[in-house]
Amino acid sequence: MTPKPLIERAFELAIEGGCGDIHALRRRLVDEGYSKLSIAQHLGGRHTRRQVADRIAAARAVPAQQSSSDGIGTS
């Protein structure tokens, strides 16, 4: 099976919410077998890093929104 393109996988990981920040995402990519050089090349640009970081932040915000709207603790 051919691995997914690195940038595609990076965005998937960011959206899934399993990585708390860009550094955790980079570590996860290394663990999945992507080279540090490829990661640096693909995520080295400011715009791309910002896009990934924004998706990480959005994924982290979703559980907080769900827990505040689930009715627990309301009268």
- Asked whether residue 70 carries a pLDDT value surpassing 90, the answer given is no
- Looking at the structure of the chain, the number of domains it has is 1
Place of tokens 């791309």: 48
Domain-located, residue 1: no
What pLDDT score was predicted for residue 69?
A: 60
Q: What is the pLDDT of residues 8-58, one digit of tens each?
A: 999 999 999 889 999 999 999 999 999 999 999 999 999 999 999 999 999
Q: Give the structural domain span for 37.
A: 6-65
Place of tokens 């982290």: 60
The larger pLDDT score, comparing residue 72 to residue 45, is at: 45
Domain-located, residue 73: no
User: pTM, whole model, 2 decimals?
Assistant: 0.78
- The first and second tokens of residue 67, run together, are 């827990």
| Most distant CA pair in the chain, distance | 54
- Asked whether residue 74 carries a pLDDT value surpassing 80, the answer given is no
The larger pLDDT score, comparing residue 48 to residue 73, is at: 48
- H or E segment and range at residue 7: helix 6-16
